Every structure is written in structure tokens, then in C-alpha cells.
Structure 1
Amino acid sequence: MSAELPPYYFRVRDNGAFVFRVTTEDRQRRIAMDQIAVINIRNGDVKPHGDRVLEPEDLAAIRDWMAARREVLSARELDDIFRTVDHLNTTAQWVQTRATEDELEAITDPLLLAMHDLRSVLVRKRAERLMRERDGD
């Protein structure tokens, strides 16, 4: 562990985090974590914990963390989509080379419906982009 601890700790949870102020003020240098807020990353809500009033530096640290967290989540989401492309490719290979009749029977309809839904959305979104590009020129 490094000698210098960060002033805040963010315990990640679904849709946000609990925010703690980190201190080591006693003689034994024990770490104390005092919850100061709960944040919701989706809607940007910052709720002070209990009767606490957040200081400007608290709010600045929270806003910085939220911006960084949104970037991480966005990057993860895009990575998940690229992994989905890989999964579709490996699924096609599996279907062609190894799938049994029973396995194909189990996955064909759900997979075809999901792929049809995805294709419909992608085609519609591409058409919307092309229309905007055409109208913008």
C-alpha cells in the first residue's frame, strides 16, 4: 500500500457509488472511511449522507470521479459490442462445424429473432444517419 492514501474512496455499485472520505488522523494511523454521499451515475444525483453538507472540494472530487467513471463505462460498453461481434463469428463457426441437431433446435429461433431485431435497428439507424447527411449537404 502506498504511503499516501487518496482523500476519497468510491465504492462502486449499480448505477453509481457510495462516497467515503478517507482519513488517517489517529496516532496508530488507522484508516477511517466516513461515508459522505451516495451518487447516481445515470442521472447525476449527488445525495449527501445523513445530515452532512458537502464541501466544494467534495463536490469537485465527486464530479471528477463521475466524469471518469462515465468514460470507463462507455469504453466497456463499446468493448462489449466488439466482443459480441467476436461471439457471433465463433457462433457461426460452431453452428457450421460442431453443433448437434438438438443444440441447433434449442438456439435457432432465439438467435434468429435476436439477430433480426439487431439487424432492423442497425438498418434503421444507418438510414437515419444517411438521411441526416443528405439533408445536411
Structure 2
Amino acid sequence: MTDALPEYYFRVRENGAAVFRVDTENRQRRIEMDQIAVVNIRKGDIKPQGDRTLSPADETAIRDWIDARQKLLAQRDLDDIFRSIDHLNLTTQWVQSKATETQLEAVTDHLLLAMHDLRSTLVRKKADRLVKK
């Protein structure tokens, strides 16, 4: 753990974050967090809290956080897809080696429809990419 705390704290929410300025330079030597803004990642909006005016340093720190957060979320999306591929492989192995007739009856239609939907979408997207080349 480092001695110095970051200047800003971002409380992550579904679409962004609440942004706090961290203050340890007070008489009580307590950590104080003062909310200065709310960020919407999808829209790229930064809304100052109340009557505040954000300093250029505040805006730069927030924009840097937005950029880093968007990259992290994009990476997580890709990781989720690769986990889905692994899960499909495990599902195939389960169907081939462990599934009972009753279990297969319960999941087959759902799996076939989901896989058909995925395949159709992938084929269409690939065709679109090939046409653009």
C-alpha cells in the first residue's frame, strides 16, 4: 500500500462514475471525499456536482479516467466472449460424455436456437466485412 492517496476517486456506477476529490490535508488528518462530478461513459458527459466549476486539471483527470475505463470495459467484453467460447467447448464435451436423455431434452432446443441465432449473426457480420474490403 502506498503512503499517498490518489487525488481523485471514481465510484463506478453502471454507466460511469461519481467523481470525488480526495483530501487528506485537513486538521483532523481524516480522509475527506468531496463529490465534484458525475460521469456518463457511454455519452462521454461530465456533469459538475451542484454549482461547481471543474478546473482544467479536474477535467483532464476525468477524461483520462474515461479513456482508461473504456479500454478496460472493451477488454472485459472480449474476455467474456473468449470465456463463452470455452464454455461452448465444455458444453459440447458435456453433451458428448455426461448428459442424460432428460438433460438433453431440457436444453437441446434452447441451445440450437441460440447457436442458430449466433451463427446467423456471425455470418451476416462477416459478409458485411468482406463486402467492405
TM-score after normalising by structure 1: 0.93
Residues 1-137 of structure 1: matches in 2 within 5 Å?
1-133=1-133
Q: Shift in Å at residue 59 of structure 1?
A: 0.7
Q: Whole-Å Cα distance in 2 between the matches of residues 39 and 65 of structure 1?
A: 10
Look up the equivalent residue of 1:18 and give its one-letter code.
A
CA distance in 2, matches of 1:106, 1:56: 58
CA distance in 2, matches of 1:101, 1:88: 19
**Alpha-carbon offset, residue 111 of structure 1:** 1.1
Q: How far did residue 32 of structure 1 move?
A: 0.4
Aligned length: 133
C-alpha change, 1:28 and 1:2, in structure 2 (3 Å) is farther
Superposed displacement of residue 128, structure 1: 1.1
2:115 is matched by which residue type in structure 1?
Answer: M
Q: CA deviation at 1:27?
A: 2.7
Compute the TM-score of the two structures, normalised by the length of structure 2. 0.96
- CA-CA distance at 1:64 after TM superposition: 0.1
Using the alignment, how far apart are the partners of 1:67 and 1:130 within structure 2?
Answer: 30
Indicate the percent of aligned positions where both proteins have the same amino acid.
Answer: 68
Segments of structure 2 that go 5 or more residues without pairing to the other structure are none
Q: 1:28 Cα deviation (Å)?
A: 3.2
> CA RMSD for the aligned pairs?
0.9
SS of the equivalent of 1:3 reads coil
Q: Which runs of 4+ in 1 moved over 3 A?
A: none
Task: Report the AA paired with residue 38 of structure 2.
Answer: V
Q: Secondary structure at the match of 1:9?
A: strand
Unmatched 5+ residue regions in structure 1? Answer: none
